[in-house]
Structure formats: structure tokens, C-alpha cells
Structure 1
Amino acid sequence: MSAPLASRRRIPVWLAIVAASLPMFMATLDNLVVTSALPVIAKDLGASIEELQWVINAYTLSFATLMLMAVGLGDRLGRRSVFLAGIAVFTLASAASALATEPWELIAARAIQGAGAAALLPLSLTLLAGSVSERLRPAAIGIWGGISGLGVALGPLIGGAVVEGWNWQAIFWLNVPLGVVAIPLVLFAVPNSFGDRVRADVVGLLLAAPGVLGLVYGIVRGNPAGWGSAEVLIPLIAGSALLIGFVFWESRTAAPLLPLRLFRDRSFTVANLVGVTFSFGIFGAIFILIQFLQVVQGHTPVEAGVMTMPWTLAPMVVAPLTGLASSRTGTRLPVVVGLVLLAVAMAWVALTLSATLPFARMWPPFLLAGIGMGLVFAPSSTAVLANMRPADHAKASGTNSTLREVGVALGIAVLTAVFTGAGGTLTPTGYVHAAIPAVGVGAAVLGVAAVIALALPGRRAAARAAAAGAGAGAGRAAEVATGSTPATAAATATTATATATTATTATATAATATAATAAAAAESMPVLAD
């Protein structure tokens, strides 16, 4: 124990922050710059709308299904070791993405990228917490969150600029030198740490991953192949059966990938239901809307990135303030209000959408949606941890992030199916006609999420849970975060804040990244006619 502590004293704090944050920023930025490149990729590779969906969903599903496994492997094999492996995998997959000449090659490389990112996002935060003193930890995590938010905000702009000034391959090649620099930097500046060395739940992973994949594949192929076709029914039935088997297995195994006992807590269960429906509704709607700017209205990737900034920047301001205020308001009020604002914003868009809609009428609902997202992010993540033992924080937050990502993938698949089923055509009028019911479904799902959120604990219940948690778990919190034994009550708050930041970053990344797939798809179609 003394060696890591000594090494932390010798290494400047700023260097540890850079070492832990750079790989996470790399993954966040990469997934966002892809949004601006998808229209060009569609033209260059001749990708169909289904293939473009898989460029995003391959990453999202790989990330979602492997995140909890990466956390468990980090506990067993060493968090820094698994983190370094994630950097290497992500960097090599970036090079493979740049070299792709066929859609299936890019899809495969993106799936491998998602596997690398599954280790980067959760472990970067854990390693940072273990690299700085308890006194400096809140400030370090705040900087970490700021770097995450910077990648979310600047990703579409940087991606648009790179694509317009260079080519789409460049967005992937940029990761290679960053990865080469990050590996020795992490080795030098970040100490290794371990957690509880339980065996990996390989059976759970082998049931969950193809189960979710089968459902998403069946939904994506529903309209093109026919909902009654064997190509659709077989993966839907098989995926459902695998997920039922997954739940059965998780209830019996001693070291589950997804601890079902956590769902006995009302706050945890409701917060995760909110996370799934929130991700389903908002990101599915974004998927439909972003192409409206680039394809129907003819804006460049950079222009589209600027136009969506009221949406992408607002959560950066609102989420931290909401996180601070939730200790007084509780989690239910901001989450319900945020989801209502999101539902209103999406309904507003659906009711006013037209091919000639000016930006002056777009930015108010975009800003309202951004404020709503900021109100939901931190309190919903806090609700996940409200009654959890510190030893369960990593599993609880990982479960929440995983379910959010599954919601993203399902939302994109379902709302795109609604769009194509409504007869989306290549003309602006036809596109808008099909987009309205799809966005309307997203608004309805967000309304359902708001109703579900009413079951979250109120302010008094949350305060009682927080007080009980602080008294019971303060001594263990720092051990969980750092792999060391010294602990203070402040570490509990730091861990909760960090978890909320992780979930916010992961979900915001998926939000903007998945949003542009349909834009790319439409770019692969013939030129629009009035």
C-alpha cells in the first residue's frame, strides 16, 4: 500500500488527471465526430440505411454489453491493466475503421471500438479517484467531468470541420497518435489497483449480448423484410429467449454480471426504468431529427453542429447545478420536471416540423430539450445509488449505464421502424410526413418516463436514505474508489458525483452519436426534390 501512496505524492496531480482523462476524451470525441462523417461515409462506401444504423449500434451494443464485464475484469486483473488493454483495442480498432473499404468492415471495427470504450469510460474515473488524495479528489473529478463535457460539445463541430476540410478516414486516424501517447502516460502517472476478485460471469455475457443483438436486429429488419418473415421472427424469438435465460441465470449464479438483488430497492429499479425509457424516447427522436438539418434543409455538418448547440451545451450548464441542488430538492422533482420538458419539446417539434422550418423556430424546443436532459442526468444517477452499499456502487452505476445504452439502441431501431413504416420518402414533404409520427412516439415515451419517475423517492425519503448510507458506508467508500483502506464520508459524496458524471457522459455521447446515423442514410439516397 505504501508504494502507490508514495508514487501518488511524486506524480503531479495534473499529470494524473491528463493520463486518466485523455483516453476517455478520445473515446467520447471519436464517437461524436462520427456523427458528422456519416453522410460522407454513406456516399464513399455505398452504405444503406440499415448498415448505417449498425455503424452506430455495433458500437453502442458492444459498449453496453461489455461495460460490466470490463469493471469485473479490472477488479480481478488490475484496473490499470484492463484500462491499458482498452486503450490498445480502441486505438487499433480506430486504425481498422480508417482502413475500411466496405460497410461490413467499418461495422466490425466499430464493434471492436465499443469493446475498448467499455473499459475506458468506467475505469478512467476509478483510476483517477485512486490517483489523487481525498482532499483533491472532488476537484479532480470536476475537471474530469469538464473534459468529458468538452468532448460532447465540440465533437460535432470538430467532426464537421475535419470531414469538410479533409476526409472521413481522418477522424479515426486522429485516435492513433493519441492512443500511442496515452499508453506510456497511464503507465507512468496512474497507479494500479484491484477490487473484489470474483470470477467473471461469462455465461451471463454469452446470454445477454446475443439476446439484445437479436432483438435489435429483428426490429431493424422488420419493415424491409416484413414483420411476419422468418428473418425477423427468428431473431426476435431467439433474442427474447436468451434474455429470459439471462435473467434466470443471473438469479442463480454466485457472481452475476447483473446483480438482480439490486432491483429489490425501489429507487434503483425506478431510476433504471426511467433511464431506459428516457434513452429510448429522446435518442430515437434525435436520430430522426438530425438528418432533417443536413438532408432536408441542406445544412453542412458544421452548420448542423452549430444549430444543435442549444441542445448539446445546455446540459453542461444545467446538469452540475441540478446535481448540487438535488441534495435539497430530492431526485424526484428535477427528474419529473426534466422529462416533462423533454416530452413537451419533442411534441413541439412534431407539431411544427416542416421542410422550411427556420432556425428561429427550432432553437426554443432544442434549448428546452437540453435543459430537460440536464435536469434528468445527475438526479437519476444519484437515485441509482441512493440506497446502495458503497461496495455495490460500481455494479449499480454500471448496470444503469448498460441499460441506458440498451435503451438507445432499441429507441433508434423502433423509431426508425415507425419512420419507414409511415412511408418516409426522398422528398422533403414525404420525409417530414414520416418524421412527425416517429418524433411523436418519442414524445409519448418520454411522457411515460415522467409518469414512472413519480415513483422515485421524495426529498424526505432521499434525505433519510442518504443519512443512513453515510453512516453505514463512509468507511468503505474510498476503499471502493481507490483500492486503499483510508476512508472519509466525503469519499461517499465523491463516488456518487463521479458515477453521475460517468452516466451523463456515456449517455450524452450516445445521444449525439446516434443522432446522425439517419442523416448519413439520407445522404446515400438520391438528391431531394421539392
Structure 2
Amino acid sequence: MPDVRLASPQGKWILLTTVLGSSMALLDSTVVNIALPRIGRDLDADLAALQWTVNAYMVTLAGLILLGGALGDRFGRRKVFVVGVVWFAVASLLCGIAPNAGVLIAARALQGVGGALLTPGSLALIQASFHPDDRGRAVGLWSGFGGIGAAVGPFVGGWLVDGPGWRWVFLLNVPLALMCVPVALRHVPESGGEGARGRFDVLGAVLGASALALLTYALIEAGGAGGGLVVAGTAVAGAVAAVAFVVVERRRSEPMMPPDIFASRQFTAVNLVTLCVYAALGGFFFLAALQLQVVVGYSALAAGTALLPTTALMLLLSARSGELADRIGPRLPLTVGPLLCAAGMLLMLRVGPGASYVADVLPALVVLGLGMVTLVAPLTATVLGSVDVARAGLASGINNAAARAAGLVAVAALPLLAGMGEEAYREPGAFDAAFGKAMAWCAGALVVGAVVAAAVVRRPPPGCKRPECLRHGGVTAPPLEGEPVRKRLD
């Protein structure tokens, strides 16, 4: 039984290293959007390159995060966590010194691999290390510090972009890793790795990631000039990879994503809501950072600071929202939450040239933040309550991967749907017009999510009271469940 006490020196070191490791990935998911206009200007990159700067990371992270959890179970969670931190830091260094957009995009894809290794292990290490009497408080502290990091991330990113330069958004991860790795090796006990047999579902992971990458490429390149045959061929290849993924997962005895988990109508419905919600949020945070800088004329620091209310509200109010949802059930919060988010995005239509922060930007972000507060905790609780306890880690991993996949598809598709050209982010008038159309699409996706929740979601057993569910500051995906992820071997 784990016996490390939180008050002990070892307990404090374990908490520190897991917070540092998870903060690397969490910060990266929130600060890069702020740097995009400066990256595009310095590297002479078009809109497609900026989309890939975000999506190259998301493709590998979403495609491999389930495999990353299984690797930790098989070979040791500390070992895989440390490898992930080192991998992430090296990839961040490559991002920071990238001479052109192509190198930056490739390095971002490598970053996603590192994120898939370290993200599942961070919370699992706490669960596997601390004495049961201290585990809840340790997870609460981990969640709280992570939420603070997510809240201040855009501010820090804006300060770096306007100060030392956008490259430091990535280079900042290197000293964090240099602090994290020695502490992990010295103070964190190893866990996992006992009794695992068989091979990993590598084929499933490769097919899933390939389908995401190919379909994302087709969506992004469809908005450019020419390449119609290549786009069509890539889209067909992506669809074939997606079908092959489903076939492989159905035929394997213990696949990475067991199809039978979707036999739960509740689980399937909540994942549909997740797809709608996080597609809208992913698209919003990608485009809002550009809108505030390109159209409104904010500096990177001002744009990052402007976005603080959303994550701050989540950090401050998620626990109360989760407690309320546990009393009244998830159906109403999962219906009202997306509708509030949709209203916030429609309020962003007022944010154009000469917009006032207090009168125009802040109301939209507060309404959006209240919508996120309303839905995130009950969404996570409903996912965990819709499957057997033994499959909670798997269910949470699937839900987290679905959210990230939805976000990357939205970043790829929204500029196409809104009619943004390759140089749109350099033309304030054209970008403003397209931004309005994109917000309408995002609001529509959220309304669909609300309708699904109202029609299908029902009250599960008593909800998730775990601190990682209730104190959550991330905006790109719901929190991962902290229990060790079930081995997914074939």
C-alpha cells in the first residue's frame, strides 16, 4: 500500500515534480495561441502554418494519450513520466530554435508525443505514491496548482511574446524539465510495471493518429489555393485509416479503445456532448487570440490578460458547480452550460475594431467562463459514472482524447467554413468578417451539444467528488481520471 505522507519531505517533493511536469503540458496548451501572430510574422507563415503549429501537437497527443497511460502501467509510471518530461523538453528546445515554420511544426508533433507520455502519469503518480489518508488532499493541491498555472498561462505567454520573444514560450519548458527530472528520479517511488503481459495496441494507436493527421491535413489544405487532387486523396486516406482503426479495435481481444464501452448509452451521449463542446472551445481559443491582436489591436500581453476570466472562473467556481450537479444531476448543467458558452461566443460578435474591453470583451468571456464552470465538472463526473469503476481510467482517457481530437478538427475546419484565406490573419477587415462566421459555427456546435444532453443524458450514480474533477483550470480538455489506467494489451 502507498505510504508516503503529504507532510513529509518526500511527499512535498513528489507534489512538486508532478505539478512541474503537468504544468509543462498545461501551459503549452494555453500560451501558444497567444504567440501565433508573432510566429506568423517572424517566420513569414500563412494561416495554414499557424493552424499546424497548434494541430501538429494535438494530433500526436490525442492519438497517443491512451497508449501513454498503458506504457506507464507496463514499464513503470515514474520511468515513462520522466521519459515524457525529457522528450517534451527536447522537443520544446527544437520549437524554440526552429528556423522556419516546417521545423516548428515537426517539433510540435514531437512535443505531442512527450505530452502523451507525461500527461497520464502525472496524476497517476500521486495516486500510486501517497497514503490513502493524504491522497485526496494531495490531488486537491495538484489540481489547484495546475488550475492556477492554466489561469496565468495566457498572461505569462503574452509577457514572453512581448518581452524576450515568442521562442521563450517554448524554451521556458527546458528549465522546468531540469528541475522536474532530478526530483522525480530521487524522490518519486516507482509504481506499475508488475505482471503485465502481451503486446501493446500500437497498430490501433498508429491508425488513430494517422486518421486524425490525414483528415486534419485535408481540412487545412482545402482552404488554400490548388491541391484539389491531393486534398481529396488525403481525405480518402484519412477515412480509410479511420475505418481500419474501428475494424482493428473490434477484432482485438483487449484493444486500446474497446468498442463495447460505447454500449453504454450514457457514455456515448456524454462523449458526443464532449465533441461538440470542445470543438467549439478549441476553435474559439485559437481564433479569439488572433481576433484580439489582429483586429482589436491588442498586444500579446493584453490579449493573454484579456482571456484570464475564463480559466479564473473555472478555478474558483468548479467545485461548487460539481457539488450542485451532484445534487440535481448532470442533465440540466450539461444542457445549460453549452448554451451559456454559445451565448458568450455570440457576444464575441461585438468584439471588433475599437472594441472596449469592459463593455464588449469582458461580458463575453464572463458568460463563456460561467458556461464552462457549469458543464466541466458534471461532464467528467457523468463520464466516470456511466461505466464500471474498473474502467474509469479508460473512460476518462477516451473522453480526454475525444476532447483533444474535437479541438484539433475545429482548428482545421473553422477557417475553411468561415472562408478565411491563407493571408486572412494579416488583413484585419477580412479576419473580422470571418471571425463572426466562425463564432456562429461554434455556437451552433454548442447548441447541438445541449440538445444531445437534454435528450439523452440521465442521472448516473452519485457523481465524481475527486478533486481533479472539481478543481480544474484547463480549457482544451476535461481532466484525466487519476486512478491507474487499465492495461490495454493485446
Counterpart amino acid of 1:386? G
| 1:226 Cα offset (Å) | 5.4
Alpha-carbon deviation of 1:201? 0.3
| Structure 2, gaps ≥5 residues long | 480-490
Alignment partner of 1:216 is 2:211: no
Call closer, same or farther: CA 1:116–1:503 in 2, change over 3 Å. farther
TM-score (norm 1): 0.84
Amino acid in the other structure paired with 1:115: V
The match for 2:71 is 73
SS in 2 for 1:135: helix
Structure 2 counterpart of 1:148: 146
Residue 252 of structure 2 is aligned to residue 282 of structure 1 = no
Which residue does 2:117 correspond to in 1? 119
Which of 168, 172, 181 does residue 179 from structure 2 map onto?
181
Q: Which has the higher helix share?
A: 1
Within the candidate set 7, 20, 26, 1:22 is matched to 20
Q: What displacement does 1:272 show?
A: 0.7
Rounded to whole Å, the distance in 2 between the matches of 1:106 and 1:18 is 30
Please give the root-mean-square deviation of Cα atoms over the aligned residues, in Å.
Answer: 2.4
Number of the residue aligned with 1:512: none
Amino acid paired to 1:35: N
| Segment drifting more, 183-192 vs 211-220 | 183-192
Q: Report the Cα distance in structure 1 between the residues aligned to 2:470 and 2:73, rounded to whole angstroms.
A: 21
Distance 1:273 1:500 in 2: 21
2:4, 2:10 within 8 Å by CA — same for their partners in 1? no
Cα distance change, pair 325–14 in 1 and its aligned pair in 2 (3 A) = farther
1:433 maps to 2:433: yes
Partner Cα separation in structure 1 for residue 236 and residue 324 of structure 2: 45
Give the equivalent residue in structure 2 for 1:489.
none
Q: Is the 8 A contact 1:331 1:383 kept in 2?
A: yes
What are the residue-to-residue correspondences of 1:234-313 with 2, within 5 Å?
234-313=233-312
* 1-structure distance, mates of 2:298, 2:353: 12
Alpha-carbon distance, 1:435 to partner: 1.8
Greater displacement, 337-346 / 39-48: 39-48
Pair 1:345 & 2:325 matched: no
Give structure 1 stretches of 5+ with no counterpart.
468-491, 510-530
2:136 pairs with 129, 134, 138, which one? 138
After superposition, where does 1:96-107 map in structure 2 within 5 Å?
96-107=94-105
Distance 2:202 2:113 in 1: 15
Percent of aligned positions that are identical: 33
* Residue 477 of structure 2 is aligned to residue 507 of structure 1: yes
1:47 counterpart residue number: 45
Distance 1:21 1:303 in 2: 27
The residue number in structure 2 matching 1:498 is 468
Shift of 1:95: 1.3
C-alpha change, 1:37 and 1:397, in structure 2 (3 Å) is: same
Q: Deviations over 1:84-105 (max 9, x none)?
A: 1101101111111112111111
Q: Give me the whole-angstrom Cα distance separating, in 2, the residues matched to 1:310 and 1:45.
A: 31
- Cα 1:251–1:192 change in 2 (3 A) is same
Give the drift of 1:36: 2.9
Check 1:7–1:503 CA distance in 2 against 1; reply closer, same or farther (3 A cut): closer
For 2:145 and 2:119, how far apart are their aligned partners in 1? 12
Residue correspondences, number: 475
Letter in 1 for 2:286: F
| Cα deviation code 1:451-495 (max 9, x no counterpart) | 01114543xx42xx349xxxxxxxxxxxxxxxxxxxxxxxx854x
How far does residue 505 in structure 1 lie from its aligned partner after superposition? Answer: 6.2
Q: 1:156 to 1:6 in 2, by over 3 A?
A: closer
Give the deviation of 1:238 after TM superposition.
Answer: 0.8
Amino acid at match of 2:362: W
Q: TM-score, normalised by structure 2?
A: 0.91
For the 8 Å contact 1:400–1:503, the answer to whether it is kept is no
Deviates more, 1:31-40 or 1:54-63: 31-40
Change (3 A) 1:345 1:226: farther
Moved more, 152-161 or 280-289: 280-289
Quickly say closer, same or farther: Cα 1:261–1:427, change in 2 above 3 A: same
Please list the CA deviations of residues 416-468 of structure 1 after superposition, one character each: whole Å capped at 9, or x if unmatched. 1122358958554333222211111111111001001114543xx42xx349x
Q: What secondary structure is seen at the aligned counterpart in 1 of 2:35? A: helix
The 1:505–1:81 alpha-carbon spacing in structure 2 relative to 1, beyond 3 Å, is farther
CA contact (8 A) 1:20 1:190 kept: no
In 2: Cα distance, 1:401 partner to 1:501 partner: 16
1:452 is matched with: 452
Structure 1 Cα separation of the partners of residues 295 and 347 of structure 2: 19
